[in-house]
C-alpha cells in the first residue's frame, strides 16, 4: 500500500503531512535539509554474517544503482540500526526515485526482512529523502526489549529440556520442531478475522502465549536455528511464510505451520513431519498453492 505525502514550501515555511500505517507499510517524506556526513553505527549482537545470493552487507553508502540501494536497506535492517543516513552518488540521477520506489514497496521490504535475525526484523520502516540526494531510514523493531528477555528465558528452558550435546544438528532441529508444534496452537481466529488476543505473528505468540500463525512459527524456529549456528532464512509466498535451512551443505524447506494442521471439529493436536527438511522438488510435489514463491529472490531455493 502506498501513501502520498504533500509538501508545501512557501517563504521558507515547511509543512509536511504524513499518515503512519502499521505494520510493514513504509512512508516516504521529501524534505529540504543540509547535507550530513555519513556516520556508520555499530551493528548489534544479532547481526547475521551469512552470505546470501540475493542480498549482501555493504560498506558502500553512496549508491550507484538499485542493487546498491537494496543492499544498504538490507545492511541497515540486518545490523539492527534504529536509524541510518546515507547519500546518493551525485552522478546517480534516479537515485531518490529508486529509493522511494523500494521504500514504498511493502513486498520488497518484507523480502529483505526475511534474511535477517528475527530480533532485527522491523515492524515499521519509514524513509525520508530530500532534494540533494540524502536519505534517512528509520526502523521500528518487531520485538521489544521485554519481549526478547522473556523469549530468551523460555528458549533456554526449552534447550535444557529437549536438547542434548550428543545430538546432530538435524536431531536438534527435529526436537525443536516437535516441541514448538506440541506446545503451540494455530491461531485460527487471526486468520479469519485479522484480530487476535495474541502476538501470533511473531515468536512471542508461539513460545510465550502458545498461539501462532505462520510468521510466529517461522520466527520461533529461526531463533533456535540462530542459536545452533545453522544458516537459514525465511521464505514467503503471497499468503504464507516458512523456514529455509542449510544442513550438511544442502538447503531444505522447513514448515512448522503445515506440520501442525488444524483438525476441524476436534480439539486434538497433531504433529506431522511432512514438511520437515524437504527439498524444493519434494515441496513442489506436495503443495503448489501457498508455497509458490519468487525464485528471483530466494535464489538458493531454485
Q: Model confidence over 272-291: pLDDT tens digits?
A: 999 999 999 999 999 999 99
- Cα distances from 136 to residues 102, 125, 292, in angstroms, run 13, 11, 34
The dihedral formed by the CA atoms of 225, 229, 233 and 234, expressed in degrees to the nearest 10: 0
Residue predicted with more confidence, 294 or 2: 294
Q: Which residue has the cell 556526513?
A: 37
What does the DSSP 8-state code read for residue 278?
Answer: B
Fill in the DSSP letter of residue 127: E
Identify which of 57, 139, 140, 137 has the alpha carbon closest to the alpha carbon of residue 100. 137
Domain boundaries, the chain: 7-141, 145-301
Cell numbers placing 112: 529483505
Other C-beta atoms lying within 10 Å of the C-beta of residue 72: 23
Instruction: Look at 60-69, 74-83, 177-186, 261-270 and tell me which has the smallest mean pLDDT.
Output: 261-270
- Rounded CA-CA distance 203/225 in Å is 13
7-52: per-residue pLDDT in tens?
332 333 333 323 323 344 455 444 444 445 678 999 999 999 999 9
Mean pLDDT of 187-207: 95
Q: Please provide the CATH number assigned to the domain covering 145-301.
A: 3.10.620
Average of per-residue pLDDT across 140-153: 98
d(C-alpha 49, C-alpha 72), whole Å: 15
Can you give the pLDDT at residue 27?
A: 52
91-116 pLDDT per residue, tens:
999 999 999 999 999 999 999 999 99
Phi, psi of 278 (to 5 degrees): -115, 155
pLDDT > 90 fraction of the chain, expressed in percent and rounded: 83
pLDDT for 269 equals 79
Least trusted range by pLDDT, from 120-124, 165-169, 190-194, 291-295: 190-194
Is pLDDT of 61 > 80? yes
Cell of 203: 515468536
Which whole number is the average pLDDT over 171-196?
Answer: 95
Q: What's the chain's Rg over C-alpha atoms? A: 21
| pLDDT(191) > 90 | no
What does the alpha-carbon distance between residue 144 and residue 215 come to, in Å, rounded to a whole number? 17
Q: Which segments of 2-82 does DSSP mark as H helices, in order?
A: 66-78
pTM of the model: 0.87
pLDDT band at 267 (very low <50, low <70, confident <90, very high): low
pLDDT digits (tens, 9 = 90+) for 244-266: 999 999 999 999 999 999 876 55
Q: What pLDDT was estimated at residue 12?
A: 34
Amino acid at each position: 500500500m502506498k501513501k502520498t505525502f504533500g509538501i508545501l514550501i512557501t517563504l521558507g515555511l515547511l509543512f509536511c503531512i504524513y499518515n503512519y500505517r502499521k505494520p510493514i507499510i513504509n512512508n516516504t517524506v521529501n524534505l529540504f535539509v543540509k547535507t550530513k556526513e555519513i556516520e556508520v553505527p555499530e551493528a548489534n549482537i544479532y547481526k547475521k554474517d551469512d552470505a546470501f545470493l540475493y542480498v549482501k552487507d555493504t560498506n558502500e553508502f553512496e549508491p550507484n544503482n538499485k542493487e546498491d540501494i537494496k543492499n544498504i536497506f538490507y545492511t541497515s535492517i540486518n545490523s539492527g540500526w534504529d536509524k541510518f543516513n546515507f547519500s546518493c552518488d551525485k552522478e546517480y540521477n534516479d537515485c531518490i526515485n529508486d529509493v522511494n520506489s523500494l521504500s514504498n514497496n511493502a513486498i520488497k521490504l518484507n523480502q529483505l526482512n526475511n534474511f535477517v535475525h528475527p530480533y532485527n526484523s522491523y515492524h515499521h520502516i519509514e524513509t525520508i529523502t530530500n532534494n540533494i540526494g540524502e536519505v534517512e531510514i528509520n526502523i521500528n523493531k518487531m520485538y521489544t526489549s521485554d519481549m526478547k528477555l522473556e523469549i530468551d528465558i523460555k528458549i533456554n528452558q526449552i534447550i535444557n529440556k529437549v536438547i542434548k550435546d550428543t545430538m546432530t544438528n538435524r536431531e536438534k532441529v527435529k526436537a525443536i520442531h516437535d516441541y514448538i508444534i506440541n506446545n503451540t496452537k494455530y491461531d485460527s481466529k487471526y486468520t479469519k478475522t485479522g484480530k487476535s488476543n495474541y502476538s501470533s505473528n511473531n515468536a512471542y505468540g508461539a513460545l510465550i502465549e502458545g498461539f501462532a500463525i505462520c510468521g510466529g512459527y517461522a520466527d520461533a524456529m529461526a531463533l533456535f536455528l540462530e542459536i545452533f549456528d545453522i544458516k537459514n532464512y525465511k521464505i514467503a509466498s503471497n499468503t504464507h511464510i516458512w523456514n529455509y535451512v542449510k544442513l550438511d551443505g544442502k538447503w531444505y524447506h522447513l514448515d512448522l505451520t503445515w506440520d501442525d494442521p488444524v483438525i476441524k471439529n476436534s480439539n486434538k493436536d497433531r504433529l506431522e513431519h511432512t514438511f520437515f527438511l524437504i527439498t524444493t522438488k519434494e515441496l513442489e510435489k506436495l503443495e503448489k498453492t501457498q508455497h509458490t514463491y519468487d525464485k528471483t529472490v530466494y535464489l538458493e531455493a531454485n
